[in-house]
A and B are shown apart, each in its own frame.
Chain A
Amino acid sequence: MARDTANTIVPAYRADLTGTRCPMTFVHAKVALDAVESGQVVELVLLEGEQIQDVPKNLKEEGHRVIGVTHKGDRYHLFVRKDGR
């Protein structure tokens, strides 16, 4: 279901976080969300492991909503709606 949702989404902002390390990964995720308006979607590219385990959980805790995830090799594309609206 997540894949179907993600395929239909055009993100307002995209950020590749694969070159970052904790905790800067989440700092850059927040920067990406700061670049869009409430209700808009950002696409975050994350690595398998710590990044994909932690970032979605932390974004939810801050009130954002993960609306889709796609997966290719060791890279995940996370689609996040700012403020969950």
Chain B
Amino acid sequence: MSGRGLTDEDLERYSRNILLPQVGVAGQKKLLASSALVVGAGGLGSAALSYLAAAGVGRIGIADGDRVELSNLNRQVLHGAADVGRPKVESAREAVLAINPACRVEVIGRRLTGETVRRTVRGWDVVLDAADNFPTRFIVSDACWLEEVPLVSAGVVGFQGQLLTVLPKADNPCYRCLIPEPPTDQFTATCAQAGVLGAAVGVLGSLQAVEAIKVLLGIGHGFERRLFVYNALEGKAQVLQRVKDPACALCGPKATITDVLEYRATCCPGGVCGPDGCCVPAEEPGKKRRKSARQRGRKGR
């Protein structure tokens, strides 16, 4: 016996979803017909992608332009030691299909740019911002608002993580209502520049999957007007209220942002974002790329 559209194998695989009254047979069918794009196949993306695939989200997109590095493996659990040097999207695709061969996986193996990001996010039912740098976060959140795609954004530095959801409706706050502009270097540290506890990243990545699934199913109480803050070291979690900024340049009544702006990383003046969220100097024509002082200084850490 099977439900219309669900095989006996589906019923068994997804039985623990279907048994939830808030999911049921109808909800499972909805998940199988849903799509989610995960921007970043790193630590957050590893957890999020695993649970989205396991839950039966039918179409999964993975966007990442980086290759697996040995230093990623403390947190990026979709990738293994044998994957070092491979494009992350390739090892992530294999890992997702190993969890659930029925998923349709689409990969974008390059860094998203302001020029292409609107087209990239268009048409997905939900986007998960699992990026490790602010320029990508801002272009993805702007693109999602402008294309009216729900966004679940999370970030972790050290032992501390935060998560929010943006549902692109007029009354809801957007990402820029909380952080109007990409922070300057003196206030930020990317994962490449700071230690991070892999398991804490997994908590936030898993929470992203939870919130994305709730968005897809239209169930429960989400973080579209709240901010989740988790301190793994102190063992504390806080939920703070978020409000719409009437002066917001993206979603306010006098919005000035009507298209996605390209951001340059501010940590290396004149630099551009490179692999793993760090910055590399902009290449001058005819000149070989040199390491920045910051990058040289990081060597051996």
A contact set with B: CB distance below 8 Å? 15-16, 23-24, 26-28, 30-35, 61-62
Contact = CB atoms under 8 A, between A and B. Distances in A.
A26 B19 contact: yes
B1 A28 contact: yes
B18 A30 contact: yes
Interface of B: 1-4, 6, 11-12, 15-16, 18-19, 21, 24-26
Given A24-B12, A27-B19, A15 B26 contact: no
List the 4 closest A-B pairs by CB distance, nearest first: A34-B25, A31-B3, A27-B15, A62-B21
A23 B6 CA distance: 17
A35 B4 contact: yes
A16 B21 CA distance: 22
9 contacts: A15-B1, A23-B16, A24-B11, A24-B15, A30-B19, A31-B2, A34-B3, A34-B24, A61-B21
A31 B15 contact: no
Contacts of A24: 11-12, 15
A23 B17 CA distance: 12
Contacts of A16: 1
A61 B20 CA distance: 11
A61 B19 CA distance: 12
A28 B11 contact: yes
Nearest to B15: A27
Contacts of A32: 1
Q: Which of A26, A34, A62 has the most CB of B within 10 A?
A: A34
Contacts of B16: 23
B25 to A, nearest CB: 4
Q: Which of B1, B4, B21 has the most CB of A within 10 A?
A: B1
A50 B269 CA distance: 69
Contacts of B4: 34-35
A61 B15 CA distance: 18
A32 B24 CA distance: 11
A31 B19 contact: no
Nearest to B12: A24
Nearest to B14: A27
Contacts of B19: 23, 26-27, 30
